Amino acid sequence: MAEKSKILVVGGTGYIGKFIVEASVKAGHPTFALVRENTVSDPVKGKLVEDFRNLGVTLLHGDLHDHESLVKAIKQVDVVISTVGNMQLADQTKLITAIKEAGNVKRFFPSEFGNDVDRVNAVEPAKSSFSIKAQIRRAVEAEGIPHTYVASNCFAGYFLPTLCQPGVSSVPPRDKLTILGDGNAKAVFNKETDIATFTIKAVDDPRTLNKVLYIRPPKNTYSFNELVALWEKLMGKTLDKVYVPEDQLLKNIQEAPLPLNIVLAINHSIFVNGDQTNFAIEPSFGVEASELYPDVKYTTVEEYLHQFV
């Protein structure tokens, strides 16, 4: 058995980052997390950092804006996984420069974990957000850095507790709900722990090298209408449904304040355009995670929704 790659997670205390760190440790990879000095004193993130330490994660102090700290951290590992948030996406150019200088990285995973940004047809302001991720892809490729892009589609923990209702508290609706467009475009909903497991599986897999890893399991692929029908079946009652036509949704996006306009524009891309599923995964550019790793027992949408019944 070949030795498992050493993994550095940048942005490990973020939403998806903490799951990636845990999955890396669980899979037996020597795991490193880049943390800023001030993160340790943060009440929430400080607790996460302590959890990482207890898991056996090696904490490396550094910052995206401190080139020397990045190079020093990167030289200690084989693989770099970035899970930085939206505000730091563009700063990943600094990570690319450091990876290039370090010269030892076998694989880089830039912060993606959503739609495949090269195959979306989004409106503003989501369009700009997606285009930053696409620009980072081009920069990685231009430098010849070995990479994998993870298109994990929808975070179950973000979309399913509210059944994709923006601005609703964290319980699925039990009386009425809003469906975007005609409700027939298919989307994919994956539990965060499963996204992390699949991502770590891809780290040392030659089949995912310089490819997009799509997490698109058949049992987690639903149209809005199918998702509502499933929830109705689990609850044993029918909901009142209000359909929002595309032209009305586009008007809502233009009139909504930040950050609601971004949320609505992303929902338009997913639930009206069907940008997660409206193309076939071709071997030339991508692979599908549940096909590559049939041993992963992922949580299905139906299993996930059961907790709310």
Active-site residue identified among 133, 186, 201, 211: 133
Q: Find out whether 84 and 91 touch, Cβ atoms under 8 Å.
A: yes
Residue 133 known to be catalytic: yes
Q: How far apart are CA 284 and CA 139, in angstroms?
A: 20
Q: What is the pLDDT of residue 41?
A: 84
- Distance between CA atoms of residues 75 and 108, nearest Å: 13
Q: Tell me how far apart the alpha carbons of residues 46 and 131 are, in angstroms, rounded to a whole number.
A: 32
The pLDDT, as a whole number, for residue 167 is: 76
Contact 117, 134 (CB under 8 A): yes
Q: What pLDDT shows up at residue 155?
A: 98
- Residue 299 in 3-state DSSP? coil
Distance of CA 254 to CAs 164, 245, 276, Å?
Answer: 20, 15, 23
Q: What is the value of pTM for the model shown?
A: 0.97
In which residue ranges of the chain is pLDDT below 50? none
Mean per-residue pLDDT over the chain, rounded? 96
Provide the pLDDT for residue 134: 98
Total number of residues shown for the chain: 309
